[in-house]
Amino acid sequence: MSETMENKYQKKIITIPNLLSFFRLCLIPIMVWLYCVKMDYLWTTLILTLSGLTDVVDGMIARKCGMISDFGKILDPIADKLTQAAMLFCLVTRFPCMMIPLALMVVKEIFAGVTGLLTIYKTKEVMGADWHGKATTVSIYALMVVHLVWYAIPDIFSHIFTGICVGIMLMSLVMYGIRNMRVIRTTK
């Protein structure tokens, strides 16, 4: 994609990827209602899967069509984190160990948000997600889907899956911290 085409979308708000991110935000109350009120775990899983697929599709469209925008770099992770937080919060009602990834996610996002804002202030540039952030997203979605589909998951397996996810989240927290602190310190 040419530099001119990418610059064309950098400051845009209404793009196909951003509309897909907004759609994901709209799915959150439906997913929570299905889980908490209807107790329909199959439909909750389907809506969560749809949300995850639209996340993948919006990223592919943004990259392939040069529709990466500064607004999208902010909206996409917000849609991800709110979806994940809502679903983890729902799962805590059946699986108390979900409180660990939920609490870690809150700490990670506050830290990443503050250092990310400082990075934007220093560089005047919105930095996108790194590979480990994407790995964290995949691991959280996998953790949620496993616990939705495997209703009577034994505690040992639940704890193993949760531990793997928390390990990936911690790695990402450290790596984002290193990246953002390095940029903040070295940028004049």
Percentage above 70 pLDDT, the chain: 94
Tokens 């996002």 -> residue: 109
Read off the pLDDT band of 1 (50, 70, 90): very low
Confidence of residue 145 (pLDDT cuts 50, 70, 90): very high
DSSP 141-159: HHHHHHHHHSTT--HHHHH
Place of tokens 């950098």: 10
pLDDT-based confidence at residue 8 (cuts at 50, 70, 90): low
Report pTM: 0.85
Over residues 13-39, mean pLDDT? 95
pLDDT over 60 (residue 82): yes
DSSP state of 80: H
Is the pLDDT confidence value at 11 over 80?
A: no
Burial of 60 by CB count in 10 Å (0-12 exposed, 13-18 middle, 19+ buried)?
A: exposed
Q: What is the pLDDT of residues 99-133, one digit of tens each?
A: 999 999 999 889 888 888 888 888 888 777 788 98
